Amino acid sequence: MMIETERLLLWEYTMDDFDALYEIMSDAETMQHYPAPFDEARTRRWIEWNLENYAQYGFGLWALVLKETGEFIGDCGITIQNIDGDKLPEIGYHIHKKYWRRGFAKEAAKAVRDWAFENTDYPSLYSYCKYTNKASYKTAEAIGMHFDKEYPDEANRITHVSVIHRAETGRKPAIAAKNTEQMPLHGHTDGKNMIRIELLSETNFCLGSLDLYNRKQDVNKVYRRIDGEYALVECKYTEDWDLNKKRSVAKKICSDEYITYIALENDKVVGFIGLLRKLSGQYMVLDMMQVSSECRGQGIGRRLFEAGKEEARKSGAQALYISACSSEETIAFYRAMGSELASNPIKEIAEEEPFDLQMICPVR
């Protein structure tokens, strides 16, 4: 996922952005309209929250980088916020103070506004801030927003809300979904082609359906158990599949042992979730789940996971059981989906994959 403007690039956070973000969020002047500057834990949680947002919604606050130098100067994006009791899509932005008054917040927010109206079906977008934060709501006005309301708020005393409605821009919703099975959750579509989630069958899948599938994943950090607790450690490697592996996986997930849902873009497989048909006690085992590299960050994984949860419910399971790859992004996704560490791991699965995190996700 990347948005490009005349001077800026917006892309997904990684934990490598921690130091640059902490310099911004720990600064008292920058954070004067927040209850307090961020400490290291709060800054780290900020990045984790956005990794979870990417997994759950297909968007979040994105790292903001100068095209010319590659320097990280802040963030801008969309998050779902509680605004006077309603869960609403909000455009937010934070800029390093040395780059204030150069139009970077406006440039980034305008690009995010356009992306949101092109790639979601939200009827309105909001921006909110403490009533004293004039610079923030003036930026909102600069991208076409106007005053919506102010309301009393414990954190801000009074919160100022700006809004822009899709109807005011003349833009149509991204895609009109034809039925509820195709309807994107949380308002997100891929903006061009509808991604369909279908139960794998002989009519939509064959042994060669994964031949062009892009498994590649660059991993920077993984979870390892240290002194009885899981902690992130640096571990750089690339995961990929050759043709033999792709054919092996294709043969596996279309066997009678599996219930498999696939994500299709113009009949090309761009993701799948493979569930073991036979329950393991109260669990349905999620044995495989993948989204093609070029399609990550679009909410496809979330939709596949929801299909898996529904299948588990229909099968009478109490929870999905996941032996999860220990990479930082993978665990952030499963946590965003409501999964937690299993208190009683399935012994044979845990022994087969000793570096995986054993997790469960209740489905009832």
Residue 123 lies in a domain: yes
290 and 165 co-located in one domain:
no
Beta bridge partners of 45: none
d(CA 23, CA 26): 6
51 and 155 co-located in one domain:
yes
Residue 43 and residue 26 in contact, taking contact as beta carbons nearer than 8 Å? yes
Contacts for 248 with CB less than 8 Å, ≥ 6 apart = none
Whole domain around residue 205: which residue ranges? 193-362
- Report DSSP letters for 117-130, one per residue: HHHB--SEEEEEEE
Single out the residue of 1, 265, 5 nearest to residue 114, CA to CA: 5
- Tens of pLDDT, residue by residue over 77-114, are 999 999 999 999 999 999 999 999 999 999 999 999 99
d(CA 345, CA 285): 12
208 and 253 co-located in one domain:
yes
Sheet containing 195-199: give its strands across: 195-199, 258-265, 268-276, 283-291, 319-324, 357-362, 340-341
- Tens of pLDDT, residue by residue over 265-296, are 988 999 999 999 999 999 999 999 999 998 88
Residue 178 lies in a domain: no
C-alpha dihedral sign at 245, 247, 252, 254: positive
The secondary structure of residue 17, as a DSSP letter, is G
164 and 275 co-located in one domain:
no
109 and 50 co-located in one domain:
yes
Range 193-199 average pLDDT? 81
The secondary structure of residue 149, as a DSSP letter, is E
94 and 219 co-located in one domain:
no
Residue 175 lies in a domain: no
d(CA 149, CA 83): 10
Neighbours of 360 (CB within 10 A): 23
C-alpha radius of gyration, the chain, whole number: 22
Percentage above 90 pLDDT, the chain: 76
Residue 25 lies in a domain: yes
238 and 165 co-located in one domain:
no
Range 303-310 average pLDDT? 92
pLDDT for 323: 96
- Tens of pLDDT, residue by residue over 309-356, are 999 999 999 999 999 999 988 988 888 788 999 999 999 999 999 999
Q: Hey, what are 96's tokens?
A: 């390093």
Q: What pTM did the predictor assign? A: 0.55
Residue 252 has pLDDT above 70, yes or no: yes
Neighbours of 322 (CB within 10 A): 25
116 and 13 co-located in one domain:
yes
pLDDT for 297: 72
Reported confidence tier of residue 189, pLDDT bands at 50, 70, 90: very low
246 and 278 co-located in one domain:
yes
206 and 164 co-located in one domain:
no
d(CA 2, CA 339): 28
Residue 179 lies in a domain: no
d(CA 204, CA 264): 9
Residue 185 has pLDDT above 60, yes or no: no
Contacts for 333 with CB less than 8 Å, ≥ 6 apart = 51, 52, 55, 301
Outline where the chain has alpha helix (H): 18-25, 40-57, 104-119, 134-142, 166-169, 243-253, 300-314, 328-336, 347-352
Instruction: Give the chain's largest Cα–Cα span.
Output: 62
Reported confidence tier of residue 17, pLDDT bands at 50, 70, 90: very high
pLDDT for 115: 95
The number of domains in the chain is 2
9 and 44 co-located in one domain:
yes
Residue 340 lies in a domain: yes
pLDDT for 206: 95
Residue 184 has pLDDT above 50, yes or no: no
pLDDT for 166: 92
141 and 248 co-located in one domain:
no
- Tens of pLDDT, residue by residue over 56-71, are 888 999 999 998 888 9
pLDDT for 64: 95
pLDDT for 174: 63
Residue 188 lies in a domain: no
pLDDT for 300: 87
Residue with tokens 């800026």: 8
Q: Are strands 8-11 and 72-83 parallel, antiparallel or unpaired?
A: unpaired
- Tens of pLDDT, residue by residue over 205-244, are 999 999 999 999 999 999 999 998 999 999 999 999 999 9
Range 120-145 average pLDDT? 95
- Tens of pLDDT, residue by residue over 158-181, are 999 999 999 888 877 665 432 323
Residue 282 lies in a domain: yes
pLDDT for 186: 35
Range 15-36 average pLDDT? 94
d(CA 347, CA 358): 10
Single out the residue of 150, 154, 110, 155 nearest to residue 131, CA to CA: 150
pLDDT for 181: 32
Q: Which CATH number does the domain housing residue 34 bear?
A: 3.40.630.30
Residue with tokens 């790859």: 325
Going from the C-alpha of 202 to that of each of 198, 254, 255, 287, the distances in angstroms are: 12, 9, 11, 21
pLDDT for 68: 81
Single out the residue of 52, 53, 1, 56 nearest to residue 302, CA to CA: 56
Reported confidence tier of residue 204, pLDDT bands at 50, 70, 90: very high
d(CA 89, CA 356): 34
